[in-house]
Every structure is written in structure tokens, then in C-alpha cells.
Amino acid sequence: MSGAADLVIETAGLTKRLGGRDVVNGIDLAVPRGSVFGFLGPNGSGKTTTIRILLGLASATSGDVRVLGESIPRALQEVLPRVGALVEGPGFYPFLSGTANLLRLDAADRYVSPSTRRQRVETALERVGLSQAAGKKVGRYSLGMKQRLGIANALLTHRDLIVLDEPTNGLDPQGTREVRHLVRSLTEEGTTVFVSSHLLTEVEQICSHAAVLSAGSLVAQGSLDELRRSGEPRIRVTTPDVPQTHDVLRRLGTTPDDDGATPGAHSVTALLPAGLAPDQVVRALVEADVRVNGFSVDQAGLEDLFVALTGEGFDVVQ
Amino acid sequence: MSSSTTAAAPRKSAGGRFLASELSVLFRRRRTWALLAALAAIPVLIAVAVRLSSGPSPGRGPAFLDQVSQNGLFVAVVATIVAIPLFLPLTVGVVAGDTVAGEASTGTLRYLLMSPVARGRLLAVKYVGAVVFCLAATFTVAIVGTLMGALLFPVGPVTLLSGTSIGVPEALLRIALVCLYVTLSLLGLCAVGLFMSTLTDVPVGAMAATVVASVVSQVVGQLPQLEWIHPWLLTQYWLGFADLLRDPIVWDSFAANALLQAGYVVVFGALAYGRFSTKDVLA
């Protein structure tokens, strides 16, 4: 394994067998230092299991894992102090306050200074907007507040890597925005952030890199631009002459998305016809006397790629 | 300036803080205090019942019950004898069975492990926490017993089983010694509970299994047909503290008990470690 210096997480052929099937099937992750890495996949695709293995909570059936350049699980005790994590939802003692819970978890960490403990806990709580509720028992927290506390726990001290498993679960839109903000500020501090999510928009908004997991296998990986480029570009025509536009596009060899032509629609979208440049499409439209009020080319949203890679619908992959 | 310069932080501190934190969490739980309160109710009930009844009832009830009305110090001894077969194992089973499974069920186990706490260290700290609870439990019974006895009955010199009489301070010392003996007797059960707790993410299951283990051991101990197994039973020496009430003290049963309990701690501690060190923490 070369180039480990630039990779914060690196796995080779990582496999986990549980109950006779491969929950994680030979995945090769490569998370560059300084990236915000989105780990995408539908529910049940093996994201959390992979994260558990990365953090030494579960053992791999086979394959190599390196985190921060060290082999896992061998160097776990040296690596984990530099890693903050929120895995599989927050876990706290309901009978203790938010502050007391963080103090407890911090006390378990032998690598941090106890003299700065209170200060660090306060700062972390402030960062996730929980200062007001710090003294309240966690049992009385809402799901979103627990989630925030979980994130605060990951921020107790400076980390080189922060792993956030479905960080926006239970958060309202305001909280989701705050998480986005937080992730950005973490990267500015030089922390690599590894975010797992089943929500594509979330990843699209905050990540620089992503990997897509489907049924335990890695089906795509790279920078967001690379991933987008692998999709096909789409065109959007704004026009009052919708039926004529449909005719022209069909003649060019592409099928408009809304074939039934919704009455009153003023735009048509379709895949860019193969082998044609956008300007050629515009010329064909104009020559057919279509009034073109607007024309744009969109790179395929990650959405299309995501759906193409992992399938559509609610079926949890078995 | 950010305080993130990790070079300034101590490389690795001693493990004392995590233990302190463990004990503080244990004793900040309302459940722990409820268990201790339930144990404290035993000497209170005994003292009040004897006080309200007319005179002693020689020959019936737990050992030394007939002595209570003459000397209040015996409340502590009687209450301890009453608590040993069921109430102490019950409360210790709750705490020991909860050690790992309880953390798993709240989801705190994975966060402790990622803090990071090495798995062996986690087990050791959890075990010590349970042992401290055993100490608290046995001393709760004895101290509340002594106080209730002093409150409701005369307190004076105690005649030992060997016939000699000792003063009150010496008697209190003997009671403390009995408490230590009982705590020692519970060390094996704590280890059994710790092991059970690594088997499941459902704390109630581990608690029940631990209590059942102590009950089964006592039942087997009652069956003469299984006499060959008796020396190996967890509960074999549980009531064997009479030797501490002689003058001079006979330490044989103390030593035999310590050896037996150490055996249980080693075996079940190893089982717990074997199980937990390789366990996938999925909860």
C-alpha cells in the first residue's frame, strides 16, 4: 500500500461476513486527507458496518484497514484518540446531564489533558448550540438534541479525522444547516470529515469526495466532479412551443422526459443527444421555428448516478 | 490560539480517572441508591420487629435473632445473615449483570471503546466498580443495623462463640471483618455477572442469569447427593464467617473462601475477556 501519507482511510478488499452473507464485500476505500468524504448508500448497504470496522468496534472477516496511516485494529489505541466519531446514533446515559455525559466520555480518554476538560466540554457544547441545555438530563433531550450532543462528543478535542454516521438524523432544517456549517469549519481546521448518509442532497452540498455503496459493494468512488462527469449531460429548453420541441428532439435521437407534454408546460428536458454538441441542438430547434427562450446544459445530478448505481425505490437490499 | 497542539497534552495518563468516573456514574444512578435502600430496609425491619414483639423467641428465626433484644449490635449480624442468601446476590447481580450489557443497551459502550478505552481496561474498571458496590452493599446492611440496634436496644460487650467477651469497639471491628468476608464471598459472583454481561446487550438477561447462578449454587449446596461438588460451589463459604466471631480468630475459612473466590474470578474473568475482546460491538 503506497501513498498512505495522503490517505486518511484506506481499505483493501475489506469484507465482513455476518450470518452467512457478505454485508461488506471487498471494498477498497481511499479517503484523501483534508477531504469531506461522503459515504453514500441506501439503508442496509453496509455503511455502518464498514464504519464499525474502521473504528475497531467490529472485526473484518478479511481485508486490510489503515486509518491515519496505521493498521487497524493493531494500532487502534494510538489511532482512536485522533478520531472523533458519531456512529449509529448518539449513545448517552439518560440519567446524566449533557455536560456530565461528555465529562464521562472525556475522562475515559487517557490522551487528553484533564485540566482543560471542563473548558473543552463547554466549547464543544457551544459549537453544536447546546449550551442552554447542557445541565438538563439527556433523558429529557429530543432526538435532535441527542444528535447534537453526539456531534459535540466527536469535537471534544482536536481530531485529525471525524466520522459522522448519518449526522443529520433527527435534525430540523436549521440543525441540518448548522451541521453543514460545522463540517465546513472543521475542514478549515485541517480535519478530514467522513460523512455517511443515505441522503444524496446532503452529500452533494457538503462533500468534496464521495463513494457509493450498494449491497455491500463499492460501486463508485472519487471527487464529486469525477462522479458527476461519469453521468450523462442533460439539456433543458425553455419554450412556448413544447410539442414542436418534442418532435425536434425525437428526430435528433433523444426522448424528452415528459413525453405526455403536460399542458401549460414551458420547458422540456432530455438527455443531450449522443454525438451532438449543445449548439447543434439549438440550431436544429431554431431551424424548425421553435421559439427558444432559454437553453441550458446540466451535468447529470448525482441523483441520477445514485439511482443508476443503487436502484430506485424503498427496497432495502437483502 | 487553538488549544489543539496535541504535543502539550500528556501522552497517556494513569487509568485512575476512568475508574473515578465509573464510580461517580454508578453512585449517581438512582437505581444504585434504590438497591442500597432496599438492603438498608432489612436491618430496619428486623430491629423494629424485635422491638415491637414481646421478648425473645429462642430457637426460631435466623441465628443470633434471640440476642438482639439484649444487645443491639446483633442487629447488624442478623441482618447480614438474612441478606446473604438472596438480597445481596440480587443487588450484586443487578449491578454486575449491568456492567457491560447496560453500556451496550444505552449505546455508551461504543463511545467508551472509541474514547478510547481498551477492552481489557474497560472490563477491569467495570469489575472494580461492581466490587465497590459489593462493599457498599454489605457495609450498608451492617452500618444501618448497628445504628438501628443502638437506637432501639441496649449496646454492650459481646460474648463471642468461644465464650470470651469483647468490648463494643472490638465488636464493631469484628462486624467490619464480617462485612469484608461477605464482600470477599461476592467477588466470584461479580465475575460471573461480568461474564454474563458480555454475552448479551440486554442487561436484564445478564442480571437474571447472575442471580440464577447464585440460587442454583445454593440449591446444589443443599443436596447431600451432590456432596462431591460442594467444595467447588460459588456459595460454599457464604455463611462461613462464624470463625471470625471466635477468640482468637480462626482464619481457615477466610483463606479457603478467598482461594475459591479467586478461582472464580480468574476463570470467569478470563471467560469474560475471551468473549469481550473479540466481540463485535453492534449495539
Q: Shortest CA distance to B263 belongs to which of B232, B220, B230?
A: B232
Cβ pairs bridging A and B (under 8 Å): 105
| Residue B6 falls inside a structural domain | no
* Helices B168-199 and B74-83, axial angle in degrees (round to 10): 20
Instruction: Note down the domain range covering B154.
Output: 17-276
User: Is a pLDDT exceeding 80 seen at residue A223?
Assistant: yes
Which is more confidently placed, B141 or A255? Answer: B141
Q: Which residues of B touch A58 (CB under 8 A)?
A: 280-282
Instruction: Count structural domains, chain B.
Output: 1
Which of A201-210, A274-283, A298-307, B147-156 has maximum average pLDDT? B147-156
C-alpha cell at A306: 445514485
Judge contact between B178 and B244, C-beta under 8 A: yes
Angle (CA) B31 B281 B186, round 5°: 45
Mean pLDDT confidence for A63-79: 93
Mean pLDDT confidence for A201-229: 88
pLDDT at residue B59 in the model:
63
Strand partners, A65: A11, A72
Q: State the span(s) of chain A assigned CATH 3.40.50.300.
A: 4-229
Share of chain A above pLDDT 70, in %: 92
| Residue B131 falls inside a structural domain | yes
pLDDT at residue A3 in the model:
47
User: Is a pLDDT exceeding 70 seen at residue A123?
Assistant: yes
Convert the pLDDT of each residue in A263-295 to its tens digit. 667 888 888 887 788 888 899 999 989 999 999
Angle (CA) A34 A40 A44, round 5°: 135
**Among the listed ranges A127-136, A247-256, B36-45, B179-188, which one has the minimum average pLDDT value?**
A247-256
Residue stretches of chain B with pLDDT short of 70: 1-15, 54-59, 283
| Residue B180 falls inside a structural domain | yes
- Alpha carbon of A181 to those of A106, A174, A177, A207, A236: distances in Å? 24, 11, 6, 12, 32
pLDDT at residue A259 in the model:
57
Q: Shortest CA distance to B136 belongs to which of B217, B48, B39?
A: B39
pLDDT at residue B55 in the model:
60
| Residue B5 falls inside a structural domain | no
Which is more confidently placed, A240 or B146? Answer: B146
Convert the pLDDT of each residue in A23-50 to its tens digit. 999 999 999 999 999 999 888 889 999 9
pLDDT at residue B5 in the model:
39
| Residue B3 falls inside a structural domain | no
- Alpha carbon of B262 to those of B3, B137, B188, B189, B235: distances in Å? 46, 20, 7, 11, 13
Judge contact between B137 and B91, C-beta under 8 A: yes
Please tell me the class of the A4-229 domain: alpha beta
Q: Which residues of B touch A108 (CB under 8 A)?
A: 18, 21, 112, 115-117
Fold observed for domain A234-298: Alpha-Beta Plaits (3.30.70)
In the sheet that holds A267-271, the strands lie side by side as: A267-271, A234-238, A294-298
pLDDT at residue A38 in the model:
94
Q: Which residues of B touch A77 (CB under 8 A)?
A: 116, 118
pLDDT at residue A268 in the model:
86
pLDDT at residue B14 in the model:
59
Judge contact between A151 and A86, C-beta under 8 A: yes
| Residue B99 falls inside a structural domain | yes
| Residue B151 falls inside a structural domain | yes
Contact A85 B6 (CB under 8 A): no
Residue labelled with grid coordinates 449533557: A98
pLDDT at residue A313 in the model:
53
Contact B15 A52 (CB under 8 A): no
SS3 A104: helix
Give CA–CA dist B122/B275, Å, rounded. 13
User: Is a pLDDT exceeding 90 seen at residue A137?
Assistant: yes
| Residue B253 falls inside a structural domain | yes
pLDDT at residue A55 in the model:
96
